[in-house]
Chain A
Amino acid sequence: MGLRDYVVKRILLMIPIVFVLLTIVFVLLRALPGDPVTMLEGKDIPEEVLARRRAELGLDQPLHVQYLNYLASVLRGDLGYTALERIPVAEYIAMRLPATVELALAASLLSIMIGVALGMLASFYRTKTTLPVVKIYSSVTFAIPVFYLGLLLQATLGVGAGLFPTGGRLSALNEVALSPRPTGFVVVDAFIVGKPWIVVDFLHHLALPSLTLGIYLSSVFARVTYLTLAEVTSQDYFTAGRSRGLTMMMLVLRYGMRNAMIPLITMAGLQVAALLGGAVLTETVFNWPGIGYVVYEGILKRDYALVQGAVTIYAIIVAVVNLVVDIVYAYIDPRIRY
């Protein structure tokens, strides 16, 4: 089977996966005991108001009708309206999507850079101290909750040293200067509008949130790089290369890393869930206006449609990202195209 056939097959396979994910979301949000309306609107609200909200959200219907309605409305791209401003939830989330993509890309890049660099350093200089350093780094970065790490960076590099802004995506002036947003992505929009200097301000704001999320995700990459390289470097051809006078650095860069790529990409694919989950907390800490922040807003404003809409969008993102990872994987490793 050629790459194209595989891609087509994989795209078709996405349909049942999205369907299953949406069903899971539905089961979790509707079929579990617990009434979202009383839960989110509060207990001291008169029963007729609650009943009206329930009818509005379609929660007074029998479960199977709710299920079909839910699937149908998702297919139509209709996720309901926000409770307060009455904006379509789909539109509201679409507005926030670029910010999450920006944060996720920056954080992934940083995490791979930090992780791979650490793992490589540890295998260049194989002494008694390097392995424990990688181990301690990856354990501690795993153990620190991402929001705590964010707060610490905010307090030290942000407020303490005054190096970086502690929240938001742009400073207020630039937020206004960039008001028509053709794409929603700051880097692209800044050039379209003709004010490329806004990018600097954006990167300045992006620094702390992406570093937070990047450090949080880097622990696994450090470990995977180190372990793979440890295995590769104990192979015979490595010893042969060493005896021919090649330096360790050259061997690792030219031969070791090529072998480490496949487990790294697998790991990167597996990390997407952690990335999206971590983004919810990072966006909350840094008031980064992405989808993760929408989830937080939904909880805070007790807006059921918003929470449900965001979770639905996450389901679709997960399916799409998995598709992309699989295709990249098939492109890199020819053995995959079964």
Chain B
Amino acid sequence: MSTRTSTRGSGTEIAGSTAALLASRLRSLGEQRSLSAGLLILAVVVFLALAGEYLTPFDPTLSVVAVGGKIHNIPPLLPPGSTVRIDERTELLFVLGTDHLGRDVLSRIVTGARFVLTVALVATAISAAIGVTLGLLSGYVGGALDRVVSLVMDSMYAFPGLVLAIAVAALLGTGILNMATAIAVVYIPSYYRMVRGAVLSLKSLPFVEALRVMGMDTPSILFRHIAPNALYSIIAVLPMNFADAVITEAALSFLGLGISPPTPDWGYDLNTGRRYFLSGHWWIGAFPGMMIVLTVLGFLLVGEGLGERFNPRRLMRR
């Protein structure tokens, strides 16, 4: 507690305890603040993913626009804030410019949210499901099973996650489920370790022994009594997993293992924008990149808020 610094100059004990109270209030407010800031960011990104095409001024996959029944080509590589005059009455504004094919960058980053979030959601679900199940079984059963699974999980944990994901993605190919599987592989050990640790400490508690004495069978003890208690431990991992999944999805797309064009995707657009970065057309890649950063930051803030609430001594893990 930092009462020492907060009472500096106040002198009296009452003022000291008030200051301490205030400090702890402020701290929990700060915790709340990072949680609510994160949730706000995520709400916006999820809204973009759901609303998608209904919000965008142009079709994200087309380099033409229909005005007054006629099809007009959109010029490529327009810088942000450019306007194009179609006729006397209509002038089109490209807030974030257009890409090398004349597609509106704003429309692409808005609709790009959908694919990333879907992949991240599916990936998180897969790795949580597998990791938690393995952790529960391994922790409760123990013995040879525990040793073997732990060895495999520790080895996977030490392996560079991205390289694992690349290897799997290169094999499975593109598509939501395939990419999600490739990303999911990376995070299974994190859930496994958390849940296994929790189960190990839970199973020696008296209530488990009492259940056993009462004649309850192992699956019921494990899934109805231990699992709900052990699952608390993964609450802080979930948002981190999400954040990592978004980054890994972008990385796979960036390496050319993502979805096939023209579906908008931040990582893919960043990869396209890469070639134009050096020629000064920075906006093609810069804005999708910013969306990735923002989304990851959102998950990170939520994770931090939850992490502080559930486990104050937890360090950030990459």
Chain A residues at the B interface, C-beta cutoff of 8 Å: 16-17, 20-21, 24-25, 28-29, 32-34, 36, 39-40, 126, 138-140, 142-148, 151-152, 154-155, 158-159, 166, 219-220, 223-224, 227, 270-278, 280-281, 284-285, 295-296, 298-300, 304, 307-308, 310-311, 314-315, 318, 322
CA distance A11 to B247 in the complex (A): 35
User: Apart from A24-B156, A224-B315, A277-B160, what are 12 other A-B pairs with CB-CB below 8 Å?
Assistant: A17-B155, A20-B151, A28-B168, A126-B5, A139-B297, A142-B300, A145-B250, A147-B251, A271-B318, A280-B255, A318-B160, A322-B158
Q: List 21 A-B contacts (CB under 8 A).
A: A16-B151, A17-B155, A24-B156, A28-B164, A32-B171, A34-B173, A143-B243, A144-B293, A148-B270, A151-B273, A158-B278, A220-B317, A270-B318, A271-B318, A273-B160, A273-B161, A274-B161, A278-B162, A281-B255, A298-B170, A310-B163
CA distance A95 to B143 in the complex (A): 44
Question: From residue 242 to 296 of chain B, which have CB atoms closer than 8 A to chain A?
Answer: 243, 247, 250-251, 254-257, 270, 273-274, 277-278, 280, 282, 285-286, 289, 292-294, 296
Main SS at interface, chain B: helix
A147-B254 CB under 8 A given contacts A33-B172, A154-B278: yes
Which residues of the other chain, A, contact B255 by a CB distance below 8 angstroms? Answer: 280-281, 284, 296, 299
Are B151 and A21 touching (Cβ within 8 A)? Answer: no
Are B300 and A295 touching (Cβ within 8 A)? Answer: no
Chain A residue nearest to B257 in the complex (CB): A299
B166 interface hit (Cβ, 8 Å): yes
Task: Select which of B155, B156, B278 is within 8 A of A155 by beta carbon.
Answer: B278
Which residues of the other chain, A, contact B211 by a CB distance below 8 angstroms? Answer: none
Are B162 and A281 touching (Cβ within 8 A)? Answer: yes
B213 interface hit (Cβ, 8 Å): no
Are B172 and A32 touching (Cβ within 8 A)? Answer: yes
A34-B171 CB under 8 A given contacts A143-B293, A145-B247, A300-B256: yes
Task: Select which of A34, A138, A166, A314 is within 8 A of B172 by beta carbon.
Answer: A34
B159 interface hit (Cβ, 8 Å): yes
Are A270 and B317 touching (Cβ within 8 A)? Answer: yes
A311-B167 CB under 8 A given contacts A24-B152, A318-B160: yes
Are B251 and A28 touching (Cβ within 8 A)? Answer: no
Are A29 and B167 touching (Cβ within 8 A)? Answer: yes
Which residues of the other chain, B, contact A304 by a CB distance below 8 angstroms? Answer: 170
Among A16, A126, A273, A304, max chain B CB count under 10 A is at A273
Which residues of the other chain, B, contact A17 by a CB distance below 8 angstroms? Answer: 151, 155
CA distance A140 to B151 in the complex (A): 33
Are A145 and B318 touching (Cβ within 8 A)? Answer: no
B109 interface hit (Cβ, 8 Å): no
Chain B residue nearest to A276 in the complex (CB): B160
B301 interface hit (Cβ, 8 Å): yes
B 138-176 binary contact with A (CB < 8 Å = 1; else 0): 000000000000011001111111111011101111000
CA distance A304 to B172 in the complex (A): 12
Which residues of the other chain, A, contact B170 by a CB distance below 8 angstroms? Answer: 36, 39-40, 298-299, 304, 307
Are A143 and B159 touching (Cβ within 8 A)? Answer: no
B78 interface hit (Cβ, 8 Å): no
Chain A residue nearest to B273 in the complex (CB): A151
B185 interface hit (Cβ, 8 Å): yes
CA distance A24 to B30 in the complex (A): 43
B71 interface hit (Cβ, 8 Å): no
CA distance A205 to B210 in the complex (A): 66
Among B5, B168, B247, max chain A CB count under 10 A is at B247
Task: Select which of A32, A151, A284 is within 8 A of B270 by beta carbon.
Answer: A151
Are A148 and B172 touching (Cβ within 8 A)? Answer: no
A215 to chain B, nearest CB (A): 13
B205 interface hit (Cβ, 8 Å): no
B177 to chain A, nearest CB (A): 11
Question: From residue 98 to 136 of chain B, which have CB atoms closer than 8 A to chain A?
Answer: none
Task: Select which of B5, B280, B318 is within 8 A of A220 by beta carbon.
Answer: B318
CA distance A336 to B158 in the complex (A): 20
CA distance A270 to B160 in the complex (A): 10
Question: From residue 181 to 228 of chain B, which have CB atoms closer than 8 A to chain A?
Answer: 185
Are B162 and A280 touching (Cβ within 8 A)? Answer: yes
CA distance A40 to B167 in the complex (A): 12
State the 4 A-B residue pairs at the shortest beta-carbon distance, nearest first. Answer: A277-B162, A277-B160, A143-B296, A276-B160
Are A318 and B167 touching (Cβ within 8 A)? Answer: no
Which residues of the other chain, B, contact A147 by a CB distance below 8 angstroms? Answer: 250-251, 254, 270
CA distance A268 to B317 in the complex (A): 12
CA distance A36 to B168 in the complex (A): 10
CA distance A275 to B5 in the complex (A): 38
B316 interface hit (Cβ, 8 Å): yes
A299-B256 CB under 8 A given contacts A145-B289, A151-B289, A155-B277: yes
B33 to chain A, nearest CB (A): 11
Are A21 and B159 touching (Cβ within 8 A)? Answer: yes
CA distance A142 to B257 in the complex (A): 22
Which residues of the other chain, B, contact A36 by a CB distance below 8 angstroms? Answer: 170-171
Which residues of the other chain, A, contact B151 by a CB distance below 8 angstroms? Answer: 16-17, 20
A313 to chain B, nearest CB (A): 10
A143-B300 CB under 8 A given contacts A16-B151, A155-B278: yes
A24-B316 CB under 8 A given contacts A16-B151, A34-B173, A142-B300: no
Are A315 and B159 touching (Cβ within 8 A)? Answer: yes
B134 to chain A, nearest CB (A): 14
Task: Select which of A145, A271, A280, A295 is within 8 A of B292 by beta carbon.
Answer: A145
Which residues of the other chain, B, contact A24 by a CB distance below 8 angstroms? Answer: 152, 155-156, 159
CA distance A299 to B165 in the complex (A): 13
Which residues of the other chain, B, contact A284 by a CB distance below 8 angstroms? Answer: 254-255
